[in-house]
């Protein structure tokens, strides 16, 4: 009898086992669905810097806690970011000064792999299928089901399965989205980003760490953004003696190979980056960058907002739904919120009214993510000194106090808003 009941549960397949995909699975399981997550990677991430650091806003933090069997685990795996500070740096004089400072920031910093491991551990066994490459899907003529084809990479076996709902959490280069929008193209932002995480465990009292703490005295609770003409960096501390940094550099669009947004870098490229850092930044920051092992280079893209994010019983979440630049710390937070709202909509309408559920999800999320993507784009253009349609390019050494205010995270549209669907049961959550 129990197995018959399980067979009658509506079933969803999630394409992509990153944070957006795992969050979607947790939300759908909470709504009473059977879920399988298809991930082409052969195993969970282990110590790789890819993804690096991220910031969780109060609402995302609360949502994740609601999915974890032990909510304190999230608190213990993150560090507070209570200050958002933007400052200008004069590379010749090697001095910095504050442009804008918000001491009520209320975010938490996490390493991507740490957060993913927590979320993955919260899933029931065998929900996330590693080494399963999604190949194709076919929607039934009556729209009642979807047939999937998946390849098991270790055996080359092709598996066909039938589900009621397909959730595309397959990132900015989503193959599911491309099925419906064959002419869709990402927009190159005009710059790339060097990223790195310095593990200083065992070297807490080294000259580099003592120097960076002196130059950036609020590390451990502050998100620092250093601005110089036509470039900027981000710096904050992560748990377990790690410093996360990112440096944006204007350049022509590189040629990408395969489906990765990360460029393979050579020792010559890394050495050139380090030399430029010495010219532009405080010596403490350039030394931190030089000490970091295996820095990597991301190409930064976004897209104009989509007009729809579901078709029949196929729905987009995370970067598949709204590729965005990273300046507003929105990518992970939007993904978590997408998953939570999707779960609540499906729980509210039931499997028999899936179209209404997906329609409400789209109505709730599109207006928010559309303006946040555009705001993140503008903030990146401002900080990189790129052309703006309504004013001259931003120069941190000549800008006005009004222009400094634009640099702060708290001016993101919907920065502290909670969707109506999520307000019940969250009255005690402080989100501003």
Task: Indicate whether 134 and 273 sit together in one domain.
Answer: no
Task: Indicate whether 194 and 267 sit together in one domain.
Answer: yes
Burial class (CB in 10 A: 0-12, 13-18, 19+), 6: exposed
Residue ending a domain, among 285, 302, 319, is 302
What's the CATH code of the domain at 220? Answer: 3.30.9.60
Task: Indicate whether 40 and 103 sit together in one domain.
Answer: no
Mean pLDDT of the region 274-302: 95
Residue ending a domain, among 287, 302, 317, is 302
Answer yes or no: is 64 within a domain.
Answer: no
Mean pLDDT of the region 286-310: 95
Residue ending a domain, among 266, 284, 302, is 302
Evaluate if residue 50 carries a pLDDT over 60: no
Average pLDDT, the chain: 92
pLDDT digits (tens, 9 = 90+) for 167-206: 999 999 999 999 999 999 999 999 999 999 999 999 999 9
Task: Indicate whether 132 and 103 sit together in one domain.
Answer: no
pLDDT reported for residue 13: 98
Evaluate if residue 46 carries a pLDDT over 70: no
Answer yes or no: is 147 within a domain.
Answer: yes
How far apart are alpha carbons 208 and 12 in whole angstroms? 49
pLDDT confidence band for 6 (50 / 70 / 90): very low
The pTM score is: 0.93
Phi, psi for residue 367 in degrees, rounded to 5: -60, -30
Evaluate if residue 410 carries a pLDDT over 70: yes
pLDDT reported for residue 264: 84
pLDDT reported for residue 239: 92
Which is higher by pLDDT, 356 or 50?
356
Mean pLDDT of the region 57-64: 96
Answer yes or no: is 430 within a domain.
Answer: no
Task: Indicate whether 348 and 390 sit together in one domain.
Answer: yes
Evaluate if residue 304 carries a pLDDT over 70: yes
Task: Indicate whether 103 and 227 sit together in one domain.
Answer: yes
Residue-range definition of the domain harbouring residue 19: 2-56+113-185+304-423
Answer yes or no: is 62 within a domain.
Answer: no
Task: Indicate whether 155 and 237 sit together in one domain.
Answer: no
Task: Indicate whether 80 and 220 sit together in one domain.
Answer: yes
pLDDT digits (tens, 9 = 90+) for 142-168: 999 999 999 999 999 999 999 999 999
pLDDT confidence band for 43 (50 / 70 / 90): confident
Task: Indicate whether 291 and 376 sit together in one domain.
Answer: no
- Sign of the C-alpha dihedral computed for residues 112, 217, 86 and 408 taken in this order: positive
Task: Indicate whether 235 and 341 sit together in one domain.
Answer: no
Answer yes or no: is 69 within a domain.
Answer: no
Answer yes or no: is 98 within a domain.
Answer: yes
Burial class (CB in 10 A: 0-12, 13-18, 19+), 20: buried
pLDDT reported for residue 3: 47
Evaluate if residue 241 carries a pLDDT over 90: yes
Answer yes or no: is 61 within a domain.
Answer: no
Answer yes or no: is 392 within a domain.
Answer: yes
pLDDT reported for residue 47: 53
- Sign of the C-alpha dihedral computed for residues 378, 381, 382 and 387 taken in this order: negative
Task: Indicate whether 242 and 281 sit together in one domain.
Answer: yes
Mean pLDDT of the region 5-19: 85
What's the CATH code of the domain at 360? Answer: 3.50.50.60
pLDDT digits (tens, 9 = 90+) for 246-287: 999 999 999 877 667 888 899 999 999 999 999 999 999 999
Task: Indicate whether 106 and 118 sit together in one domain.
Answer: no
pLDDT reported for residue 399: 87
Which is higher by pLDDT, 254 or 224?
224
pLDDT reported for residue 7: 54
Evaluate if residue 340 carries a pLDDT over 50: yes
Evaluate if residue 55 carries a pLDDT over 70: yes
What is the number of domains present in the chain?
A: 2
């Amino acid at each position: 009898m129990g197995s018959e009941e399980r067979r009658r549960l509506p079933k969803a397949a999630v394409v992509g086992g990153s944070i957006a995909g795992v969050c979607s699975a947790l939300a759908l399981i909470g709504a009473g669905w059977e879920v399988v997550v298809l991930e082409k990677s052969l195993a969970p991430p282990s110590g790789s810097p890819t993804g690096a650091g991220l910031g969780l806003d109060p609402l995302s933090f609360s949502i994740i806690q609601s999915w974890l069997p032990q909510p304190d685990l999230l608190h213990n795996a993150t560090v507070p970011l209570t200050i958002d500070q933007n400052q200008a740096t004069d590379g010749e004089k090697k001095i910095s000064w504050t442009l804008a400072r918000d001491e009520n920031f209320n975010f938490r910093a996490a390493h991507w792999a740490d957060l993913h491991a927590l979320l993955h551990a919260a899933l029931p066994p065998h929900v996330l299928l590693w080494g399963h490459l999604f190949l194709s899907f076919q929607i039934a003529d009556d729209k009642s089901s979807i047939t999937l084809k998946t390849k098991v990479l270790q055996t080359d076996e092709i598996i066909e399965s039938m589900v009621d709902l397909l959730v595309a959490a397959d990132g900015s280069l989503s193959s599911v989205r491309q099925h419906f929008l064959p002419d869709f193209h990402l927009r190159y932002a005009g710059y790339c980003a060097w990223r790195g995480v310095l593990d200083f465990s065992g070297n807490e009292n080294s000259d580099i760490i003592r120097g960076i703490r002196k130059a950036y005295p609020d590390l451990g609770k502050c998100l620092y953004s250093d601005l110089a003409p036509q470039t900027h960096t981000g710096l904050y501390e992560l748990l377990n003696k790690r410093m996360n940094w990112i440096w944006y550099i204007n350049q022509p669009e590189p040629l990408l190979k395969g489906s990765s947004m990360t460029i393979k870098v050579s020792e010559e490229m890394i050495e050139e980056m380090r030399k430029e850092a010495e010219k532009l930044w405080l010596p403490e920051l350039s030394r931190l960058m030089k000490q970091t092992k295996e820095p990597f280079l991301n190409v930064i893209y976004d897209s104009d907002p989509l007009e729809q994010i579901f078709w029949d019983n196929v729905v987009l979440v995370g970067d598949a739904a709204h590729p965005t630049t990273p300046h507003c710390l929105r990518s992970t937070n939007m993904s978590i919120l997408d998953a939570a709202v999707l779960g609540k909509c499906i729980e509210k309408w039931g499997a028999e009214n899936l179209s209404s559920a997906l329609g409400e999800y789209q109505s709730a999320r599109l207006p928010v993510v559309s303006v946040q993507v555009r705001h993140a784009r503008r903030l990146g253009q401002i900080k990189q000194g790129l052309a703006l349609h309504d004013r001259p390019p931003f120069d941190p050494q000549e800008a006005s106090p009004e222009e400094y205010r634009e640099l702060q995270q708290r001016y993101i549209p919907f920065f502290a808003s909670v969707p109506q669907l999520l307000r019940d049961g969250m009255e005690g959550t402080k989100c501003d």
